[in-house]
């Protein structure tokens, strides 16, 4: 269901999103109305299309979204997980090439849809907050590219064990705390690592028994690093 933006933003949490950094909270609602932004809800496992008619980018308000990338055989793998206050679609809607990328809601999800062209070009009023939005969009794209490079770094490891630990080490740095909360379950994580779920489960159990990590469900903790790390 599509819902237009009113003159008040009803999701204060989006003010902390990188896309809206340095934009006065009082200017956020007028800016979104100027852009023609609207909210849209999706059920779990529903696909989210950004290229129908006017190209759009989206920001996750509630829930999470997975980016799926197809290979030459038509098989899909999880390429990225987009969490609350993160943007998706910005890397691919700018291109006329078919990137074989699709987006799917991991849980019941609400997103803020924004026309891509209006985000990247100032309006007739030449508003200062719109200039800041464009600068924020460039930073958002740069951050996403770094994350995709992390994905390549992880999946290029030779063994599943190395992939698991590389992923956990990267997430530990991001969380800056003792505990690492994975944004996906075992099936999705196995797909992300290009691995079999059973093999992932076995390897996790082995690494835990060796005292390198500890975990319960999706909460992980690194106890010690291996000597070659």
Tokens of 150: 């992390």
Residue 224, phi-psi category: left (phi > 0), alpha (psi -120 to 50), beta (remainder)? beta
Predicted confidence at residue 97, as pLDDT, reads 61
Please check whether residues 98 and 177 belong to one and the same domain. no
Please check whether residues 117 and 133 belong to one and the same domain. yes
- Write the CB contacts of 178 (distance below 8 Å, at least 6 apart in sequence): 221
Predicted confidence at residue 153, as pLDDT, reads 94
Predicted confidence at residue 7, as pLDDT, reads 47
* Residue 103 located in a structural domain: yes
Give the Cα separation of 91 and 165 in Å (integer).
28
* Residue 229 located in a structural domain: no
Q: Is 213 strand, coil or helix?
A: strand
Please check whether residues 74 and 168 belong to one and the same domain. no
Please check whether residues 49 and 124 belong to one and the same domain. yes
Please check whether residues 45 and 136 belong to one and the same domain. yes
* Residue 58 located in a structural domain: yes
Which among 113, 136, 153 is the end of a domain?
A: 153
Which among 134, 153, 172 is the end of a domain?
A: 153
Please check whether residues 149 and 168 belong to one and the same domain. no
* Residue 214 located in a structural domain: yes
Overall number of domains in the chain: 2
CB 111 within 8 A of CB 61: yes
Predicted confidence at residue 69, as pLDDT, reads 83
Report CA 92 to chain centroid distance, whole Å.
Answer: 13
Please check whether residues 118 and 176 belong to one and the same domain. no
In tens, the pLDDT along 184-228 reads 889 999 999 989 999 999 999 999 999 999 999 999 999 988 765
CATH value at residue 186? 1.10.10.10
Please check whether residues 10 and 115 belong to one and the same domain. yes
Determine the angle formed by the axes of helices 160-175 and 197-209, rounding to 10 degrees: 70
Instruction: Of 214, 229, 221, 193, give the one whose Cα is nearest residue 81.
Output: 193
Which among 97, 132, 153 is the end of a domain?
A: 153
Please check whether residues 77 and 181 belong to one and the same domain. no
Q: What does each C-alpha distance from 107 to 38, 84, 114, 127 come to in angstroms?
A: 20, 12, 21, 36
Tokens of 86: 């993160």
Please check whether residues 21 and 39 belong to one and the same domain. yes
pLDDT beneath 70: ranges in the chain: 1-9, 71-74, 94-99, 123-127, 176, 227-229
CATH value at residue 24? 2.60.120.10
Predicted confidence at residue 50, as pLDDT, reads 86
Give the Cα separation of 202 and 9 in Å (integer).
46
Please check whether residues 9 and 96 belong to one and the same domain. yes
CB 66 within 8 A of CB 35: no
Please check whether residues 127 and 163 belong to one and the same domain. no
CB 55 within 8 A of CB 119: no
Range of the domain at 195: 157-222
């Amino acid at each position: 269901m599509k819902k237009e933006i009113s003159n008040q933003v009803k999701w204060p949490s989006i003010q902390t999103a990188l896309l809206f950094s340095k934009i006065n909270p009082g200017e956020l609602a007028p800016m979104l109305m100027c852009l023609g932004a609207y909210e849209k809800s999706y059920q779990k496992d529903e696909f989210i299309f950004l290229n129908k008619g006017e190209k759009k980018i989206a920001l996750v308000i509630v829930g999470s979204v997975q980016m799926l990338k197809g290979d030459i055989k038509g098989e899909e793998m999880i390429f990225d997980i987009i969490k609350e206050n993160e943007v998706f679609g910005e890397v691919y809607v700018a291109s006329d090439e078919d990137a074989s990328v699709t987006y799917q809601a991991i849980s019941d999800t609400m997103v803020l849809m924004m026309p891509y062209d209006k985000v990247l070009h100032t309006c007739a009023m030449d508003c200062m907050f719109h200039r800041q939005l464009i600068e924020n969009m460039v930073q958002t794209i740069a951050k996403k590219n770094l994350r995709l490079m992390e994905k390549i770094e992880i999946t290029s490891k030779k063994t599943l064990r190395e992939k698991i630990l590389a992923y956990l080490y990267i997430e530990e740095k991001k969380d800056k705390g003792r505990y690492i909360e994975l944004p996906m379950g075992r099936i999705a994580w196995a797909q992300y690592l290009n691995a079999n779920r059973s093999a992932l489960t076995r390897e996790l159990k082995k690494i835990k028994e060796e005292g390198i990590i500890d975990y319960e469900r999706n909460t992980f903790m690194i106890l010690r690093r291996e000597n070659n790390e």
